[in-house]
Each structure stands twice: as C-alpha cells, then as structure tokens.
Amino acid sequence: MSIHQRLPDLAIGRTAAPGAVAEPAVRISGISKSYGSLGVLSDISFDIGQGRVHALVGENGAGKSTLVKIITGLVRPDAGEILVKGRPAVFHTPLEARAQGVTAVYQDPKLFPHLDVAENMFVGNYPRTAWGTVDRAAMCRRAGEAFRNLGVALDPRALVGALSMAELQFVEIARALSGDVQLLILDEPTSPLTPAEAERLFDIVRRLRGQGKSVLLITHRLEEVEALADEATVLRDGRHVATRPMSQMERGVMVKLMVGRELSLLQSHGRAASRGRELLRVEGLTLPGSFRDVSFSLHAGEIVGMAGLVGAGRSEIAQALFGMTPAESGHVTLGGRAVTPSTPAQMLGLGLAYLPEDRDGQGLIMSESVADNVTLPIAGRLGHAGLRNRAAERQVATEAVATYDIRTRGIDKPVGQLSGGNRQKVALARWLATKPAVLILDEPTHGVDIGSKAQIHQMIADLAVSGLAILMISSDLPEILAMSDRILVVAAGRIVSEIARDDATQEGVMRAATHSMETGHG
C-alpha cells in the first residue's frame, strides 16, 4: 500500500513564536506522584505552547512515562494540576482526556488487526444512520478525509493486520486527530520505523504544527529533538531540570542536563583496533526467502558493523548463525573448526552468543529475577549432578550487577521491573556469562536512554579490547559509524558492500543499503 503521496508544501515549516504571550495549549503545574515511599515525580511544571513541538527528554526512570500517564488520565497525580487552554482539567480516563483534546500515540500501536482501518478509526464511536445502524459509508468517507488532511494515501477499507508499522502509526495519528485535539503526545514514535518512514512521520508532525496543533514528542533520539522541536523539557530523577528553546539546547548541553554530567557520545572510547586471529568465517550462507550467498569473517578484537534497511535480512543472518533458523547451504567455521549451526545450545557451547533485538521477548524472562536471568545459560555448569548451586549463581549475578552497573534494588527483583537500559545490560550479562569468543549484538541500544547507551557502547568497546570478535547489527547509522572497525552493508538478503572505517559515511552506507532498489536486484 503506497504511502508516497507528497505533502503539500504549505504550512510545514516551523512557526515563529508570536510577539505577544499566548495562552499555552497545555500547562503542567506542580505535578507530583509517589508510590508508597518511592517518589516518581516531584513538582513538575512547564508549558506547551500552541502550534509548537515540545520535546520531553530524560533517561529511563526520569519520570517521562508516569507524567504522560498523568496527562492522559491513566494515573492520578498526588499534587498539581493540568490546564488545557487556561482551564483546569481533571482526567479520570484517557477517554476524558481525549474529550478535552489531549491524546497519545505510543510506539506500539493499540489497534485491532482483524478490523479494517475505518473501523479502527471510529471504534466505540461509530457514525450511525437514521435507523441506528453503523454508517459504513460515512465512516470510510471521514477516514479518507482524515488521511488526505495528513497527506497519507491509505485505503480506509484495508485490513489493519496487513499494514506496515509506519501505516499503523498513521492510523493511530489520524484516529487521535479525529476530534478537537489541543495536544498530541508521540511516545517514541519512530522506534519501529525505517529512516524513510520516520522522515514521513516528521513531515506529518511539521504539518500539524503548521495547522496550529501542539505536539509533545518523547524520544531517546536527540537528532529527532534537534530536527523537530521548538522547545525541550528535561527531566532527571523525577524532577524538572530545565525547559528551554532549542536555540539554547545544543546537544552537549542537553545530554549534561539529562545525566547530570558530561558524557562523551558515539565515540570509539579511545579503542585502537587490534585485529587478532580469525574466529568466525561464513561462506555462501543461504536461506531461501531470507538471505543468500552471505560471506564474511570476524577477527578477535574487532567490531564489525552490519547496516541495512529494516527487512534487509540482517537479523535472519544472525539467527541462522546462532542455530535459531538454520541455513540451507553454506559453510561456517568457528574458531578454526567447521560447524553446522543447528541449535542455540550447540552454538553457545561452541563459543558464539547472540543478543536478539527483541530482548524482552527472546533475550530475557521478564517474570524471573535478575539472578535467574543472568545465570540461566550457565546454571548447569555452576551446579553438580543435576543440582543447582544457588550460592554460585548469586555470586555470578552479584558480580554482573557490579561489573555492568545494572541499576536494580536487588538481584532477586524481577527483570521486568527494570528500565530498558538496565534490562539490556542484564541481557548482555546473561550471554557474556557463557564466556563466548564471538558475540552477535542485534540493535544493542534500541530503546535505551542516552546514559545507558553510552555505557553499553563502552561495554562493547571493552569487550573488543578483551579479544572478543563482535558483529553489531544496528539501524542507528551514527552508532555504526562510530563503533565499527569495518561495516558490512546488507540489501535484499545479500552483503552488497564492505566499507572500511576511514571510508565510511552515512551517505555511503545508505547508498549501498539501497543498492537492490537502484540496480534492480532482489
């Protein structure tokens, strides 16, 4: 389904601040919230101007999610108030918030896959005929008008289950804007999108701003804040640190406000690449329908980046090497020994570990403790005669928490209670406990805050220095460029380019990543 309809050129630029002080679209005043003795928010106050894009940034655990829940009526504050166009607004449910013009779109769209687009747009509020039946013609007409206003070409009769992630986001936005919206909250909206889809979403945000709508943008991607926001509010440890126009929010300043210290981002951490012996060789690896004729090598002490568009086949290559979805042909040599990957347990035993992109679904057991998650792959090794050695497991977990700076109230706490960055560090610690020689990381900093991202980068660099061979799959091009000694670019299931670190640019990587479209391959 095409989403390539061009937006009209009018009203997509950044609106100038009015000369006179206007009533803000939404005023957050003195909001506080605690759960028992745990203070989550303390006296948060800031304004969101009319026709402005306002970014809300902070590390995981800073209080952003709780504040959004309060703004949208999911959670009641202990103190403070919300004013919409100068009037106090008390929301008991998201429906009440929406009725007063405040609505949110989350990174994981909440839609019904078995219903069509129009039905999802008006679920619970279907237009009716004079006889009281659902007026499908009116529903489709109004949905079509909403998409035309957004500049998006979507068929209102299309089944939602067949849409791309970007199209799902556009349905959510159109649904949110079906009423008299004063504030649209976008919570990590580009997390599941390709760069092209994200840019399409940016165009829509700019168009909404030009129409006088206000947008609260929550994202870990600071380049998106710089590209879209007029102002930014920084939260840290549940407190308001600053609200400033973007002209006063140079990236280094923003990061320092978020983490409370200077932070060096996306650098190789002084690591000098020291390429040792070959640890992994892949030749002609093929899995029909996913990838074909994939060949590359990894050496001790190096970080090899794997770039490409979403759907290019990068994760499928990694999963084949880990024995999750075995390839049909090709040769794999691990540590000088020919192997045929068939199961994850086999590959872990041979010294290859894989951290999946879906850490919560595939990399961790959310209901289990930090200790159990860290030690599960090596529980048999730590025990004896089939019996678990709990003392040894707790020792390993305690050391991992200290080594990787995992922020938890105890190793017995469920890993699902941790922030995204800390869950990722638990997932890393889990596989590193197996003492691998080769480590494959699939989107290792996806969805983590800026401080955790820097820590994870340092961990990866340190692991390379210690002699691991690392394959890092990432859709974050600045991350790939900064961390990789060389870059493999995948397009349509094939490695189409290998680029040396000194020759790599974002433009060069993207040009190679679109190789299949330019040349007709695939």
Phi, psi of 41 (to 5 degrees): -135, 140
pLDDT at 7: 32
C-alpha gyration radius of the chain: 25
Tell whether the model's pLDDT for residue 5 goes beyond 50: no
Q: What is the mean pLDDT of residues 39-53?
A: 93
Q: Write the CA distances from 400 to 229, 354, 403, 419, integer angstroms.
A: 38, 18, 5, 17
Percent of the chain having pLDDT more than 90?
Answer: 35
For residues 273 and 341, give the distance between their C-alpha atoms in angstroms, rounded to a whole number.
28
Which segment of 118-122, 265-269, 496-500 scores lowest on mean pLDDT?
A: 265-269
pLDDT at 321: 96
DSSP string, 250-316: -HHHHHHHHHSS----S--TTPPP---SEEEEEEEEEETTTEEEEEEEEETT-EEEEE--TTSSHHH
Q: Which is more confidently placed, 468 or 265?
A: 468
What is the chain's mean pLDDT, rounded? 83
Contact present, 268 and 457 (Cβ < 8 Å): no
For residues 439 and 476, give the distance between their C-alpha atoms in angstroms, rounded to a whole number.
19
pLDDT at 338: 96
Tell whether the model's pLDDT for residue 274 goes beyond 50: yes
What b/e readout covers 397-420, taking b as 16+ CB neighbours within 10 angstroms? beebbeebebebeebeeebeebbb
Q: Which is more confidently placed, 269 or 173?
A: 173
Phi, psi of 129 (to 5 degrees): -80, 175
Q: What is the mean pLDDT of residues 183-195?
A: 80
Tell whether the model's pLDDT for residue 285 goes beyond 90: yes
Q: What is the mean pLDDT of residues 216-230?
A: 90
Which segment of 26-30, 75-79, 349-353, 358-362 scores lowest on mean pLDDT?
A: 358-362
Tell whether the model's pLDDT for residue 178 goes beyond 80: no
Q: In the block, which residue shows the tokens 């996306």?
A: 266
Q: Which pair of structure tokens corresponds to residue 427?
A: 């997932």
Tell me which residue of 85, 81, 61 sits closest to 71, measured CA to CA.
81
3-state secondary structure of 128: strand
Question: What confidence category does residue 340 fall into, taking pLDDT thresholds of 50, 70 and 90?
Answer: very high
Tell whether the model's pLDDT for residue 97 goes beyond 80: yes
Q: What is the mean pLDDT of residues 493-520?
A: 78
Percent of the chain having pLDDT more than 70?
Answer: 89
Q: Write the CA distances from 409 to 37, 370, 422, 495, 506, integer angstroms.
A: 14, 10, 12, 44, 40
Question: What confidence category does residue 261 fall into, taking pLDDT thresholds of 50, 70 and 90?
Answer: low
SS3 per residue for 190-255: CCCCCHHHHHHHHHHHHHHHHCCCEEEEECCCHHHHHHHCCEEEEEECCEEEEEEEHHHCCHHHHH
Question: What confidence category does residue 334 fall into, taking pLDDT thresholds of 50, 70 and 90?
Answer: very high
Q: Write the CA distances from 46 to 30, 55, 248, 264, 470, integer angstroms.
A: 9, 11, 16, 28, 44
Question: What confidence category does residue 3 fall into, taking pLDDT thresholds of 50, 70 and 90?
Answer: very low
For residues 411 and 488, give the distance between their C-alpha atoms in angstroms, rounded to a whole number.
38
Cα 40 to chain center, whole Å?
Answer: 23
Question: What confidence category does residue 271 fall into, taking pLDDT thresholds of 50, 70 and 90?
Answer: low
Q: Which pair of structure tokens corresponds to residue 324?
A: 């999750």
Question: What confidence category does residue 20 fall into, taking pLDDT thresholds of 50, 70 and 90?
Answer: very low
pLDDT at 298: 96
Looking from the CA of 258 toward its CB, the CA atoms found within 13 Å total 28
What long-range pairs does 335-342 form, CB within 8 A, spacing at least 24?
Answer: 335/279, 335/280, 335/437, 336/278
Q: Which DSSP category does 369 fall into?
A: B
Tell whether the model's pLDDT for residue 215 goes beyond 90: yes
Domain map (residue ranges) of the chain: 278-351+436-519
DSSP string, 106-155: ESS----TTSBHHHHHHTTS--B-TTSSB-HHHHHHHHHHHHHHHT----
Contact present, 147 and 139 (Cβ < 8 Å): no
Q: In the block, which residue shows the tokens 């992994």?
A: 280
What b/e readout covers 472-504, taking b as 16+ CB neighbours within 10 angstroms? bbbbbbebbbbbbbbbbbbbbbbbbbebebeeb
Cross-sheet strand order for the sheet of 239-245: 87-89, 79-84, 26-35, 38-48, 239-245, 231-236, 53-57, 214-218, 183-187, 102-106
Tell whether the model's pLDDT for residue 209 goes beyond 80: yes
Tell whether the model's pLDDT for residue 30 goes beyond 90: yes
pLDDT at 13: 39
pLDDT at 272: 58
Q: Which neighbouring-strand residues pair with 495?
A: 490
Contact present, 512 and 489 (Cβ < 8 Å): yes
Tell whether the model's pLDDT for residue 40 goes beyond 50: yes
Question: What confidence category does residue 425 fall into, taking pLDDT thresholds of 50, 70 and 90?
Answer: confident
Summarize pLDDT for 380-400 with one digit per residue, the tens: 777 777 777 888 888 888 888
For residues 436 and 425, give the distance between their C-alpha atoms in angstroms, rounded to a whole number.
16
- Architecture of the CATH domain 278-351+436-519: 3-Layer(aba) Sandwich (3.40)
Tell whether the model's pLDDT for residue 516 goes beyond 70: no
Q: What is the mean pLDDT of residues 467-489?
A: 91
pLDDT at 43: 94
Tell whether the model's pLDDT for residue 15 goes beyond 50: no
Q: Which is more confidently placed, 486 or 515?
A: 486
Tell whether the model's pLDDT for residue 473 goes beyond 90: yes
pLDDT at 356: 86
Q: Which DSSP category does 5 fall into?
A: P
Sign of CA dihedral 208, 214, 220, 222: positive
Which segment of 269-273, 402-406, 460-464 scores lowest on mean pLDDT?
A: 269-273
Contact present, 187 and 68 (Cβ < 8 Å): yes
Cβ atoms within 10 A of the Cβ of 466, count?
9
3-state secondary structure of 53: strand
pLDDT at 293: 96
